[in-house]
Amino acid sequence: MASLMDELLDTMVQEKAGYDALIALTDDKRDSIIHNKVEVLEQVTAKEEEITSGLKNLENRRIKILRDMAVVLGHDGQDLTVTQLIGLLTEQPKEQEALTKARDELVASAKNMRFMNDQTQILLQQAMEMVEFDLTLFRSLRQAPETANYDGSGYNTGDRLGGGGFDAKQ
């Protein structure tokens, strides 16, 4: 059980380090979005995918360790969570404290990561809105205004002025 506990704590510390690495990349990502640095954004995204893949592996490892601990503790067939495990360790205050600390730090890092992701998502939405605005403005500059021509029944014909380019014929 002690080796499983050490392995679980090590896994949780590595997960926290992975989340902290993602949080550190968020500043680069935000800067690349703001300053329209697509190449930097691609590099950051590649690093994020690599770290995220590692985090997924660590999560699977943590779940496997918790299953093994459930078997050792006689809770076979049940999914044991870290919080439940902390509750079961009342006889071992040292391990309980270490596990509580690791859980709290991991949860704090995950919450911080979620907050940063939400901010990045808002920033990306605003960037997309600016691109859409620019495209609409560009399209409208290329369109000529409608004329005030009316047909026999008094409706606007919808005719447009010339292409807006320079007319050399005059």
Burial class (CB in 10 A: 0-12, 13-18, 19+), 67: middle
Q: How many Å apart are CA 111 and CA 109, to the nearest integer?
A: 5
CATH topology of domain 2-141: Methane Monooxygenase Hydroxylase; Chain G, domain 1 (1.20.58)
Q: For a pLDDT cut of 70, what percent of the chain falls above it?
A: 83
Listing DSSP states for 76-123 in one string gives TTS---HHHHHHHTTT-HHHHHHHHHHHHHHHHHHHHHHHHHHHHHHH
Other CB atoms within 10 Å distance of the CB of residue 19? 22
Sketch the domain layout of the chain as residue ranges: 2-141
- Tens digit of pLDDT for each residue in 59-75? 999 999 998 888 888 87
Measured CA angle at 64 (ends 24, 81), to 5 deg: 75
Q: Does the pLDDT of residue 78 top 90, yes or no?
A: no
Q: What is the pTM of this model?
A: 0.71
Q: Does the pLDDT of residue 57 top 90, yes or no?
A: yes
